[in-house]
Amino acid sequence: MRITQLELPKCQVGEGPVWDVEEQALYYIDILDKRVMRWDPASGDHCGWDVPDLIGSMAVRKEGGAIVALPDGIHTLDFTSGAVAPLAIMDPVNPDTQLADGKVDRRGRFVFGASHRQAKEPVGGVYSLDTDGTINRLDHDVILGNGPCWSPDNTTFYHADSMRHMIYAYDYDLETGAASNRRPFFDTSAYGPIPDGATVDTDGNLWTAICEGGVVLQISPEGEVKREIEMPTRLPASCMFFGPDLDRLFVPSIDPSFLGRDPAPADGACFVIDGLGVRGLPEPRYNG
């Protein structure tokens, strides 16, 4: 196994990586820089698009372009013109929350969290943007939502409340998009305070970045730590398998300057972990 710092621009808050199998390109966001980035590992090309407000997550859209989670709802992003337009606005818009980490399920729905802006009150939740453009609430009582992902058989949905140091598991009905029976899956307190972005490999193991803990964990479906990988930064923010064989792990990170803290040299950088001996699952596109 080896960890390499990539020659990509540093982020303020690097988050939400998505590997698009069709394009063989990796998308990710910078929340505070209000920007979506695209990196082509084969050619080295790197480009980006500005969005008008804080961005919590994004997904590539089946019919072209992307959707982006801004504080008031989900918007479309046109890759050609850079135009951003409303698609589905939260009803009501809560000024105390902002939209957070999100991913697409295998029926093409976009499932995303909402977090308290000061990460103190449990006023957030988990929501689903269906393919017909309607938003449905799947859960409530969330302080800081992160790391949505699914088991390979689509029956278990994972979602973290970072401020509670807890990754939860839900029963998931892929046909209806309903999530139920929320239960504790893994308490990250022993490894660091903030379970952040996550993904699942083909064997059903969950991989999560522990922000402020400086590690990436591989956790079995039974909730046992199989691997603890120390990163060159204490602030890894997410992880996503990428590459032609989905066997490389992309890990963006955070620069703590916006918190008034001096960054370490690797803070805000993007990394790749090679030689893990596992593969990830293809990420679907939003089908609406």
What would the 3-class secondary structure string for 169-221 be? Answer: EEEEECCCCEEEEEEEEEECCCCCCEEEEEEEECCCCEEEEEECCCEEEEECC
Helix (H, G, I), strand (E, B) or coil at 268: coil
DSSP 236: B
Nearest CA to 210 out of 184, 241, 239 is that of 239
Active-site residue identified among 196, 201, 255, 267: 196
For residues 137 and 285, give the distance between their C-alpha atoms in angstroms, rounded to a whole number.
20
SS3 77: strand
Q: Please report the sign of the dihedral spanned by the C-alpha atoms of residue 281, residue 21, residue 114, residue 232.
A: positive
Amino acid sitting at position 45: D
- Is 196 part of the annotated catalytic residue set? yes
Distance between first and last Cα of the chain: 39
Question: What sign does the CA torsion over 216, 263, 69, 46 have?
Answer: negative
Annotated catalytic sites, by residue?
Answer: 196
